[in-house]
Amino acid sequence: MKLKILILCCALLAAMFTLAGCADRKNEPGTSTTTTPEMTGNGAYDADERGIVDDDNTITEKMPDTTGSGSSTDTFGTEEPGDVTDNGVVTGTSDTTGAITSDEAAFASSYMSASALSESSIGWGLGKERDSDGRPLDAVNAEKKYAALGARFLTSGEKRICLTFDEGYENGFTAGILDTLRDKGVKAVFFVTGDYCKSAPELVRRMIDEGHTVGNHTWSHPSLPHCTQKEVWADITRLHDYVKSEFGYEMKLFRFPMGEFSERTLDDVHELGYTSLFWSFAYADWDPNANTDPAEALAKIEASTHSGIYLLHAVSKTNADLLGSLLDYWHENGYTVGAEL
């Protein structure tokens, strides 16, 4: 009899522990959704020549999709990555070669983020409204809104201009631009692609040797918001690793191809250790067939002078022709021009 009572008590205790465990799991953080406050700031931008996609500030709880087909909605905490260490390094190996690829190692650390940001595509452009310092209001608002995601749209100092050039391909004018910068004692930021590095390595080497900053403009110049998260990490890290291997240079600044980004891709770039540089001035200089008159272009740039980030395309002969006069104008008006923010 005593033995039966003892067995019955053990069974009751086991049942109680099972029920208690179920109740605890219902209250685990991983089984409930979380609410992330929306980022503040004015996300409405006026369209430029290329058009602007409306911003969407909705922040959803999404887990990265490891199949390469995009992200899928899931409850935070219900899925854990396999073979990932505390510092975001994959401990597994490639199925085909047995080696860990750089994009897999980088992509793994994205799992460390508690939530995914909006994937809505935003095309960066500037309206005509300006503040009392002559800075575009869109850039002022964006600087506040996206600063936490490592994005910059303006310089931090008074009368400071950060001069940048995008280098998608070489059109024969970069050497002259470098000559002018050398003669004027000015440093600039050059954003390069994979094709540019492979086709004009001597110019990339000259940029580095002459003290300019070389920035990552992706390997293949895709529209990143339309790529999967793994593709974004792979394209950026491929160029990063190539430049480090071929030139012994580690890039820290990034520019989105075509100015197209999303909150999710901003976060991806930031997780890779980059600062995303946008711009507070640009004009239609990316078409080498436009044949813009240098005097007309110079007047337009001078009239918009403010403390900010200037984007020029090195494929433009006009930019190469006007650069010396432009630098003189900025210096005469008390501006510090360089690669610094």
Domains of the chain: 79-112 (no CATH), 124-338 (3.20.20.370)
Going through 150-241 in order, the beta strands assigned E by DSSP cover 151-152, 160-167, 189-192, 213-216
Higher pLDDT, residue 184 or 95: 184
Task: Give the least confident one: 174-183, 245-254, 282-291.
Answer: 282-291
Lookup: tokens for 200: 């004009």
292 band by pLDDT with thresholds 50, 70 and 90: confident
Instruction: Check 103, 166, 235, 321 and give the catalytic one.
Output: 166
- Catalytic-residue membership of 313: yes
The answer on pLDDT for 313 being more than 70 is yes
27 band by pLDDT with thresholds 50, 70 and 90: very low
287 band by pLDDT with thresholds 50, 70 and 90: confident
60 band by pLDDT with thresholds 50, 70 and 90: very low
Say how far apart CA 327 and CA 333 lie, in whole Å. 10
Q: Name the region of 215 (left: φ>0; alpha: ψ -120 to 50; beta: rest).
A: beta
Average the pLDDT over 37-45 and give the result: 34
The answer on pLDDT for 311 being more than 70 is yes
Lookup: tokens for 302: 């001078």
Secondary structure (3-state) at 254: strand
Say how far apart CA 209 and CA 317 lie, in whole Å. 24
Task: Give the least confident one: 25-29, 131-135, 236-240, 285-289.
Answer: 25-29
- CA of 24: how far to CAs of 34, 264, 321, in Å? 18, 33, 71
Whole-model pTM: value is 0.68
For 187, counting Cβ atoms within 10 Å of its Cβ (0-12 exposed, 13-18 middle, 19+ buried), the class is middle
**DSSP assignment string, 82-140:** SSB-TTS-B-S--TTTSS--HHHHHHHGGGGSSS------EE----S-B-TTS-BHHHH
Q: What is the pLDDT of residue 117?
A: 84
Reported as a single tens digit per residue, the pLDDT across 161-174 is 999 999 999 999 99
Q: Whole-number mean pLDDT of the chain? A: 76
Q: Which amino acid is at 221?
A: H
Lookup: tokens for 281: 């001035």
Beta bridge partner(s), residue 73: 62
Secondary structure (3-state) at 202: helix
- The one-character DSSP state at 281 is B
Q: Which residue has the tokens 């980030």?
A: 309
Say how far apart CA 53 and CA 337 lie, in whole Å. 32
- Catalytic-residue membership of 166: yes
Instruction: Check 212, 217, 306, 313 and give the catalytic one.
Output: 313
Give the residue from 126, 112, 158 showing the smallest Cα distance to 267. Answer: 112
% the chain with pLDDT above 90: 61
Q: Which amino acid is at 38?
A: E
Average the pLDDT over 269-278 and give the result: 98
Beta bridge partner(s), residue 338: 162
Q: Quick check: 257 and 234 in contact, CB under 8 A?
A: no
Reported as a single tens digit per residue, the pLDDT across 84-107 is 333 333 233 333 344 444 444 444
Reported as a single tens digit per residue, the pLDDT across 140-149 is 999 999 999 9
